[in-house]
Amino acid sequence: MRTNEFDFCLPAELIAQFPNKERSASRLLRLNGNSGLISDEHFINICEFIDAGDLLIFNNTKVIKARLAGQKASGGVIEALVERIIDKHHVIAHVRASKSPRPSTRLIFANAFEAEVEARQDDLFLLRIDSPRPILELLDEYGALPLPPYISHAADEFDDERYQTVFAKNPGAVAAPTAGLHFDDDVINRLKANGVNIAYVTLHVGAGTFQPVRVDNINEHKMHAELYSVPAETLSLIKATQTSGKKVTGVGTTVLRALESAARSGELLAGNGETDIFITPGYKFKVVNRLLTNFHLPKSTLLMLVSAFAGLENIQKAYQHAITQQYRFFSYGDAMLIERSDDAGNS
């Protein structure tokens, strides 16, 4: 397939720059992947669309303050975005500078601590952090929350709270699992009271989630790898849900990617791993029946994923409907609840 098949024109004013005042105040577009039926709803009524006995799976990753301002020891201004913490002293990071730093280049961050470039890995850099303090502690004190590139303001205290899910637990992401941002404690408690089961996976979202596909043939695109974990408890709940004939709902594309990665062998397995799974139309989903997700960027891997889940034509029509009805797009925007197309599941 060609990347241009996943392009669309989005008016700039529909890109949400700020979240709603209340987490659960967003709109909700429902899409049936079999009939193509579209309906306009409100997220606050999500409990009406998830049945007792169904399983709702969240990504409990926590966004770290991964953006660091600094300079080279030689004086050039730089900005680093920590993509992954490797160990006590090493991180993988994007480094933006007028001239890419070479190995052995010294970097000074926030006039507080230093790092050295040890190697380049494609478009990323391996940095050794020279500090006895834990890296997460340094990021919390000197870093900034890495808002997506299409949000024009710098992160403030409001973003520190709202660009984080209420169930965020395991630090490591540089982007929020945005479908989870719509949930507040009240909605989650009402779902539980209605008999909906809740489970968690972890996938540490990388900055590559915002990168458009730049090749013409989508099969030539290379994904950045991300770390994920599927607990044994979640695996047990999934199997019990499937046995009872109920539905598994993934809250966000990150949940779906974690689960499909864990099921690549043909059997869903608990445990930790690293995934660069790239899901495109024609893929046969093994775990998730229903997907809650936000609206995604043109030509993005996430738009290709939801097109695989619901059918490309259905997604194209749903997105045009959302634009006509002035839904809010991307991380701080509105949500979609998609029933999987039968064609996208294992026979």
Q: Radius of gyration (Cα) for the chain, nearest Å?
A: 20
AA letter at 345: G
Q: What is the pLDDT of residue 346?
A: 78
Q: Map tokens 């408690």 to a residue.
A: 189
Q: What is the pLDDT of residue 246?
A: 98
CA nearest to 269, candidates 238, 237, 230: 230
Work out whether the CA dihedral 192, 196, 201, 207 comes out positive or negative: negative
CA nearest to 257, candidates 73, 61, 112, 74: 61
Name the pTM for this structure. Answer: 0.95
Q: What is the pLDDT of residue 200?
A: 98
- Residue ranges and CATH numbers for the domains of the chain are 3-63+159-344 (3.40.1780.10), 67-142 (2.40.10.240)
Dist CA 200 CA 83 (whole Å): 22
β-pair type (124-130, 113-121): antiparallel
Q: What is the pLDDT of residue 345?
A: 87
Block means of pLDDT (10 residues each) for the chain, 347 residues, are 96 97 98 98 98 98 97 95 95 95 97 97 94 96 96 95 98 97 98 98 91 91 94 98 98 98 96 96 97 97 97 98 98 98 85
